[in-house]
Amino acid sequence: MGETQSNSSSIWQEIERSESYLVCSIYDEAATLASSIIRQLKGSNISDNNEAFDEIEVFDMLESAGMVFVQALNQLGRTSDILNELRVLFVSATAIPVQVLLTGACFQISGASSAGVREFLEEFLSNWSLVDGQYYVLVGTEADVGVQDGCDRRYILEVDKYMEVVEVYAVTLLGMTLKDMDSAISWVEKSALPEERQRVLLRRLHSLYSLKTINSSQVSVVSPENNHEAHYSSSKELKGFEGSPKGLEANYLHTRDHNTKQTILKLSRRVDPCLWWFRSVNLKFGNVRVVITSGKILLGCFFLLTYYVLRWKGATMNGFVRRQVSAAKKAMVDLWQLAFSYQVNPLAVVQPLPTATRGGR
């Protein structure tokens, strides 16, 4: 028992070392060590000896090493070889842990390497049989599963896990990548899936199909200004005008009239109601051409009007101030003259009295 725990611990240490290689971007070493672990676990000394290793632990080891392997191959630029390499390591598609299978398939689909993915997923999905609508059992192992009470993950697959593979196959691959909606819908309708899950999946596919139809109809309508071939997008027009010069001329005249009407409508929407008779003024001085827009003209007129008003008001204020100053000055002068118009002789106190006054005495 101690030796078994020692072997198990050493394998987990190797898996951790491969993960460290992956984190440190040493992808070659990570892929080599992970593949070596998988071959060791798939060997007869371990996989066939149930007493030495617990099946659940072996499955967890295979899943961990497989995840390291597919990620390392993806980083090495070998995305297109992931599923084939997994088949070599695990011997068959059904022996690959579901999480490893999904990761590898998604890597190949996203890396534009979908060739071979369809056949691989179809092979995997076709080897499982639904039992009582509760779980999937590997085809040919129904009797053994009944004895094992559904505990061996090599032969039993949960519905959720199986449906994850179904969604990648039907929705992601067939529907969104290969644009083969008819095959996706037909496959889902014929497959042994839980009824509720089947209805939900069909609704999704029909929604994608409707969206694809709407997008296709929108793409077919192209502006004549951007694509000359848009005039011949309709098959009926092609049949009506093909090989006939008169038909081509009529099509050209019809298109020209239509474009003229569209141009007039666009211009009528863009022209805003205003009091200007022109949008801009073009001035040319030799080789220099100056374009003055209506906005600049309006701004210039506003400045001229402001200058005129200020100058006229300034002249009026200056005249008013001058008149007030002149009136005040004149009033001061008049007051000054009035105050000092009577002159007093300062020598009158020392002058003698008149002679007439003396004789009287």
Question: Could you tell me the residue ranges of all domains in the chain?
Answer: 1-77, 97-213, 278-317
The segment with the largest mean pLDDT, out of 104-108, 110-114, 216-220, 337-341, is 104-108
Cα distance between residue 103 and residue 210, in whole Å: 29
Q: What is the pLDDT of residue 246?
A: 46
Which tokens is 253 given?
């005249």
The structure's pTM equals 0.57
Q: What is the pLDDT of residue 329?
A: 84
pLDDT in tens, 298-313: 777 777 888 777 777 7
Helical segments of the chain, H only: 2-23, 27-42, 44-47, 55-75, 82-90, 98-110, 117-126, 142-148, 159-167, 181-190, 195-220, 235-241, 245-270, 294-339, 355-360
pLDDT interval class at 289 (50, 70, 90): low
Which tokens is 293 given?
């827009």
**Contact of 205 with 170, CB cutoff 8 Å:** yes
Q: What is the pLDDT of residue 133?
A: 85
Cα distance between residue 105 and residue 120, in whole Å: 9
pLDDT interval class at 278 (50, 70, 90): very low
Cα distance between residue 100 and residue 68, in whole Å: 9
pLDDT in tens, 15-52: 999 999 999 999 999 999 999 999 999 875 554 554 55
Q: What are phi and psi of 58, to 5 degrees?
A: -60, -40
Identify which has the larger pLDDT, 156 or 268.
156
Q: What is the pLDDT of residue 13?
A: 94
pLDDT interval class at 231 (50, 70, 90): very low
Q: What is the pLDDT of residue 145?
A: 54
Half-sphere exposure of 102 (CA within 13 A, CB side): 14
